[in-house]
Structure 1
């Protein structure tokens, strides 16, 4: 099986954000021509409670398949109910997935928290991109379009180094699957980052130009592969977090990178990634980078 054949995995738990994640995953799988696997983890419990869990899981997965058939007819999703904790199950399945899609908060989470522990753990540890979906925006509630007008754009936050490559690859593919979508590339730079990369140290204009050239070089080949995608470069002097959070309010998807090798809660997320994931207004894709 090649990477392009790997399915989209949607984690569901019966919560409203879980249903939003399922809807998003179904549309994304159809748009990319991929399969969809709907997953509900059966958390380890005493024997007396296992049978009740299985019945609830069967009902939830049956309802999820019905919902997908309405949203994306012909997709024919499959289902799984592994006996494991949610983040652990999704992380294991991510090894053979194109992406994992989860809701921002599941059942039992504190309403004051903007991001649930399972979402954060999955985004930190998964081996493929993880998309965290929040609840529907007011202007999307009655929207019937696959990608609502004005919310097609993909925003990608990248650094001016090789870590940008997997982020850009995912972002270009996402933009290409959305008719009329632009790809807005936000790249932050500072004099310190310029110094670390061996670039100009005291000349701000030269440092900005150096960062912009590096990102342009990284995107060149992908522009040729996806000529239909309009690319907009948005350089930011300083932290890109504020810009990415603001941009997410009017974007169909915001894409950020994650350091490789995250092995425990939060360790795989940079400060920019964690801030964006926590405060973004729309779906956020966290890409191992």
Structure 2
């Protein structure tokens, strides 16, 4: 089955930038693009409804025109792209999660209007990131134009979630024809002075641990993508988000897992995820297994 790329669109600048990235992703996958507008309040209630009217409101002409206009602009910029537009009577979070069951990728903007307000910074974004049945690409409005030759970056920490993220990042790098950069973020240098021997032992242990994790991840992705250029990059930072955000400055996409050990615990559901989603210098690919 040729799964589509799905993007939530509400006419806001954020969602339109997300739609552009979604179109690029669909072209890379030779997949159709579905523009989806969930036109009920996130809690499932239509704001314009009369409280005594138990029916579901019809799609608005304004939203339909917005979707048609967006589809026309995308097909003009991406010849050969097949675009389908759809309005769904449902909350935006639940709508995108349901659409993800049949999608290859869901793309969301980090800011929005109407039903998509606060994506990835509020309850809707958390819902999509936590419950999607396929990978989710988070795009911010200032992330244009789409870079052509930058590597795909993925955080490596030895967890199952990081392995899944590395596999999906490798596939994305192969589609784009760019290198894959494996990054392990270790602890920053100690502020207090350590005895020389103790400092050397600690540093050697860190280097050995990072090298082992990176080598394991590299061997796994090379087995599936033997022609892919893979680079290993151990870094030290005050925190995992800081290390990843700094490294993302030269990347096309930063891939992360939704669960992990150590610094990756709770990604996209807690403080680490908020920091990465808000401050990464490129789109963030949240890895999910296909269900």
- Common fold: TM-score over 0.5: yes
| 1:139-189 per-position Cα deviation (integer Å, ceiling 9, x unaligned) | x45xxxxx5355x2211112123222210111001111113x221111124
Q: Contact 2:3–2:31 (CA<8 Å) still a contact in 1? A: yes
91 and 161 in structure 1: CA distance in 2 versus 1, 3 angstrom threshold: same
Partner of 2:204: 205
178 and 113 in structure 1: CA distance in 2 versus 1, 3 angstrom threshold: closer
How far the C-alpha of 1:190 sits from its partner, in A, is: 5.4
**CA distance in structure 2 between the partners assigned to 1:59 and 1:209 by the alignment:** 58
**CA distance in structure 2 between the partners assigned to 1:274 and 1:243 by the alignment:** 14
Cα RMSD after superposing both structures? 3.0
**CA distance in structure 2 between the partners assigned to 1:96 and 1:149 by the alignment:** 28
14 and 273 in structure 1: CA distance in 2 versus 1, 3 angstrom threshold: same
Structure 1 residues 18-37: aligned runs within 5 Å: 18-37=15-34
Of the two, which has the highest radius of gyration?
Answer: 2
**CA distance in structure 1 between the partners assigned to 2:88 and 2:132 by the alignment:** 16
Q: TM-score, normalised by structure 2?
A: 0.78
Q: 2:10 aligns with which of 4, 9, 13?
A: 13
Q: Contact 2:118–2:124 (CA<8 Å) still a contact in 1? A: no
How far the C-alpha of 1:267 sits from its partner, in A, is: 8.6
How far the C-alpha of 1:274 sits from its partner, in A, is: 2.8
Partner of 1:282: 282
Q: TM-score, normalised by structure 1?
A: 0.79
**CA distance in structure 1 between the partners assigned to 2:118 and 2:84 by the alignment:** 34
| 1:248-273 per-position Cα deviation (integer Å, ceiling 9, x unaligned) | 2332111111029xxxxx89625433
**CA distance in structure 1 between the partners assigned to 2:163 and 2:141 by the alignment:** 29
How far the C-alpha of 1:210 sits from its partner, in A, is: 3.1
**CA distance in structure 2 between the partners assigned to 1:115 and 1:250 by the alignment:** 24
**Matched positions, count:** 261
